[in-house]
Each structure stands twice: as C-alpha cells, then as structure tokens.
Amino acid sequence: MKLHVEGSGSSQAMMQDPELSSHQSQPQQVSEDSQAPPSTTGADGGSFDCNICLELAQDPVVTLCGHLFCWPCLYRWLQVHSICQECPVCKASVEEEKVIPLYGRGKVGSVDPRTKAVPGMNIPHRPAGQRPDTARHADQHYQHHGFNFMAGPGGPATARFGNITLSAGFGLFPSLFGFQLHGFPETTGLGGTSGIHFGTSGPGSQSSHIHTSPPVVPDQQQEALLSRLLLLLGCFVIVCLLLF
Amino acid sequence: MSTSTPPQKTLSRIAANRLQKELSEWQINPPAGFKHRVTDNLQRWIIEVNGAPGTLYSCEQYQLQVDFPENYPMEAPQVIFIQQPPCHPHIYSNGHICLDILYDSWSPAMTVSSICISILSMLSSATQKARPPDNDRYVRNCRNGRSPKETRWWFHDDKV
C-alpha cells in the first residue's frame, strides 16, 4: 500500500492499493502539518471544524447552543469579548463553565493539551464534563421475578410472595429468628448484605445471580434447609393471617 | 478616498492559518458577485464587487479593500471601498461603511465571504442612491487617514 499526497496545499491522500482501486476509497487525512490547511473544505468535511479557526477542532468544546469550537479559540474570544459573553455563531449567551468538552477517542499520547503554550495568553484546561450518575439497571432486573429471596451467611433473608415481602434475620442460632411482614412490594437493597441472589420464576426453574465479591456458593444441604425454613415461614404466615 | 495603510503588524500564526483557509475556501466557492484580485499579500485583500442584478447598483462595479489585523479573527478586519465608493446612505464618500458587523457586532465566526454577502445585501436593499446626511462632517474628521474602526458608530437603521 502506498500513500500519495496530492498537491502542495492539500493534506488528503488516496489509497493507491490495486485491490482497493476498484471502488471509491475513503480519503484519509495523513499530514498534521499546521502550515498547510487541512482539506476538510470539500462537500464531505467541515462538520467538525472549529467555528473560529475553521480547522478540525482541537480540544473540542461545544456550547449549550450546540456550536463547536476549539477550546483555546473560544476561550480567547470570551476573554476578548468579556463585556458580553456570547456564542460567536448565534449570539446566545455562553458561560465558560457550561461549555461541554468532547472526549473523542483518537490521538492519545500525542501532546498533552495542558503543555501546549499559546503565546501571549495562558489558556486554562477546558472545563470538565458534567457527568450524571451511572445508570442503575441491577434492581430493575429482579422486579420481574414474582418470588425471590436472598441469603448470606449470617445475613438477613427476604422472601417475596406476590406483593407481600417477608424478611427474616437469622444468625448463628437459626432457632432464634424474628420476621417482619410488609404489605407492599419493596425493592430489596442489594448493596453489601448479600452474596448470592436467587431468582425463581416458577417450580423447577431456578436461576442464580452472583452480585458481590467474593462469591459464596452454598452447598445443596444449606439450600434445602433454607427452602424448608422458608416453607415453614410461609405456613406460619398463613396461620397468622388466618388467626388474626 | 482613503487607501491609507492602517498601522499593521504582521499576522499571527493563527491569523495566517485562518486566512489561508478562508482563501482556499473562497477559491472553491466564491460568494456570488465577488472576485478576489489575486495578490501575494495575505493581509490585504482587494475584492471586486458587482452590483446585484435588479437593484440600484446592477451592472456597477466597485472595489473593496480588506485589511486584516494581527489578531484576526478575534478582531474585525478593516473593510472600506476604494476607488469610487457606491453612493449609498450608509457609505461615506471616503469609502467608510457604516455596518455594525464590521465594528461592534463582529464575531470570529464571520468570514470575508460572509462580510461580502452582508455588504452586497446592504447595497441591494437601498431604495435611493444618496450619501449619509453627515457625510461632509465625517469625511472632514477622517482627513488624517483615520481608520473607520476608530469611529464611534451609531447604528440606527435595521432595514438594511
């Protein structure tokens, strides 16, 4: 494969591979020469050019009105035009802290943008992105199960029958356990207490999901004991409901 | 008529790159009715303007001189008519143009091309060929070759 740079003012190159020459190959930007204008002026390019220097945006930031700039270009304009800080394109008001940095993938390790000195002006690092919390999807998954319980060694166990949630805490002495009865379904807090979470959707089908590390795998005996215990509790609840 | 050279410093690297870019874009897609006279001076562009057909200035040709400051595009270029300026209510007989985007409303997102289109639009929307009412006084004050960028402009006509 051979790269051929056309013209003097152009930094576009076309693939000269005989295998690729049959179909239109994508133009590739090769040169990063700051003196030669990058040829993004064609019909294809320009969408990611800074609105001030007209080059492909470096340290790109986007204003709330959606206009793209190099951070140094926009910062310089906001300093020059400090009386009335407005977007150079649409004149919407622009606040320095509210511009959104764009973090692309490429060009890692070329030059640290912070070390790039701009003569005559100290350009600060562009503002950080405003990051919302991570999406929580673990809880939603388990609401599809009509019946589940969780148990950890010495931790509380919660069983849910339809819209009745039953929690039982048992420790070293399984005979001394208390239980609670809730009338409304409640999303069980998964954080910290449970090692294993069992979700059962029907008889015979059982799925297990491991949540926190280190995972603890109970043996069959413990599993049988738990289910018997739960059956006992269920019966007890029904008896209680009938009596009171 | 003022063709005086404003106190010019050489273009910064950023300004030179941006002008290079504008020039190559102009060569690919020049604004309709304008012709850039090729020189080797990147800092001063001479542009021929043809009056738009169907307007008061159709079939007339004028010349614009665009001088770029050192820190272009953070600062507006100086744009004036040279030779015979068109007779227009916002164009003084010394070639100075009363147009807000050239002064207070300048934005670095504007280009020579967009300035040209604004000027042609200003010419095209004229309903009569006349000089500004304060033409004589203003031109007298500018006799020492003052740049229009030093004028405190008062923009009152929003119909052009």
CB contact under 8 A, B25 and A41: yes
Q: Above 50 in pLDDT, residue B104?
A: yes
Q: Above 90 in pLDDT, residue A45?
A: no
CB contact under 8 A, A53 and B22: no
Distance in angstroms (rounded) separating the CA atoms of residues A217 and A214: 10
Residue A74: φ, ψ to 5°: -65, -40
Note the pLDDT of residue A111: 53
Mutation target for B interface from A34, A49, A54, A123: give the one with most B CBs within 10 A.
A54
Contacts of A55 in chain B (CB under 8 A): 17, 21
Note the pLDDT of residue A195: 41
Note the pLDDT of residue A131: 75
Mean pLDDT over A119-144 rounds to 68
More confident site: B78 or A182: B78
CB contact under 8 A, A37 and B21: yes
CB contact under 8 A, B108 and A73: yes
More confident site: B46 or A242: B46
For B135-154, write each residue's pLDDT tens digit: 999 999 888 878 888 887 77
pLDDT band at A218 (very low <50, low <70, confident <90, very high): low
Note the pLDDT of residue B146: 84
Own/partner pairs for A39-48, CB < 8 Å, 24+ apart? A39/A9, A39/A10, A39/A11, A39/A12, A39/B24, A41/B21, A41/B24, A41/B25, A41/B28
Q: What is the CB neighbour count within 10 angstroms for residue B62?
A: 21
**What rounded mean pLDDT belongs to chain B?**
90
Q: Above 70 in pLDDT, residue A213?
A: no
Q: Above 50 in pLDDT, residue A214?
A: no
Q: Best-predicted range by mean pLDDT among A39-48, A62-71, A119-128? A: A62-71
Among the partner residues B21, B74, B75, nearest to A55 by beta-carbon distance: B21
Distance in angstroms (rounded) separating the CA atoms of residues A222 and A229: 10
Note the pLDDT of residue A171: 46
Sign of the alpha-carbon dihedral angle for B27, B29, B31, B35:
positive
B contact set with A (CB within 8 A)? 13-14, 17-18, 20-22, 24-25, 28, 73-75, 107-109, 111
Mean pLDDT over A212-239 rounds to 78
Least confident range of A4-8, A65-69, A161-165, A178-182: A4-8
CB contact under 8 A, A52 and B109: yes
A contact set with B (CB within 8 A)? 9, 34-35, 37, 39, 41, 51-55, 67, 73, 76-77, 80, 88-89, 91
Distance in angstroms (rounded) separating the CA atoms of residues A114 and A96: 17
Note the pLDDT of residue B75: 94
Interface A-B, measured as beta-carbon pairs within 8 A, has a size of 45
Note the pLDDT of residue B152: 79
Mutation target for A interface from B9, B14, B106: give the one with most A CBs within 10 A.
B14
> How close does chain B come to A128, measured CA to CA in Å?
24
Q: Above 50 in pLDDT, residue A194?
A: no
Q: Above 70 in pLDDT, residue A11?
A: no
Both tokens of residue B5? Answer: 């050279």
Q: Give percent above pLDDT 90 in chain A.
A: 20
Note the pLDDT of residue A205: 42
Q: Give, as one character, the DSSP assignment of residue A93.
A: B
Using alpha carbons only, give the angle A126, A131, A133 rounded to the nearest 5 degrees: 165
Note the pLDDT of residue B160: 61
Both tokens of residue B95? Answer: 């070639």
CB contact under 8 A, B17 and A89: no
Q: Above 60 in pLDDT, residue A173?
A: no
More confident site: B132 or A166: B132
Q: Give, as one character, the DSSP assignment of residue A115.
A: G
For B39-80, write each residue's pLDDT tens digit: 889 999 999 999 999 999 999 999 999 999 999 999 999 999
- CB under 8 Å to A58, separation ≥6 — which residues? A50, A70, A71, A72, A113
Q: Above 50 in pLDDT, residue A223?
A: yes
Q: Name the β-bridge partners of B7.
A: none
Residue A104: φ, ψ to 5°: -85, -165
Contacts of B73 in chain A (CB under 8 A): 52-53
pLDDT band at B155 (very low <50, low <70, confident <90, very high): confident
Among the partner residues B17, B25, B28, nearest to A53 by beta-carbon distance: B17
pLDDT band at A138 (very low <50, low <70, confident <90, very high): low
Among the partner residues A53, A77, A89, nearest to B18 by beta-carbon distance: A53
Contacts of B25 in chain A (CB under 8 A): 41, 54
Mean pLDDT over A131-157 rounds to 55
Q: What is the CB neighbour count within 10 angstroms for residue B127?
A: 9
Contacts of A80 in chain B (CB under 8 A): 74-75
Q: Above 90 in pLDDT, residue B159?
A: no
**What rounded mean pLDDT belongs to chain A?**
63
ipTM of the complex: 0.86
CB contact under 8 A, A80 and B75: yes
CB contact under 8 A, B24 and A35: no
Q: Name the β-bridge partners of A164.
A: A161
More confident site: B6 or A128: A128
Note the pLDDT of residue A137: 67
Q: Above 80 in pLDDT, residue A211?
A: no
Note the pLDDT of residue A83: 82
Which residues of B are marked as active site?
98
Q: What is the pTM of this model?
A: 0.59
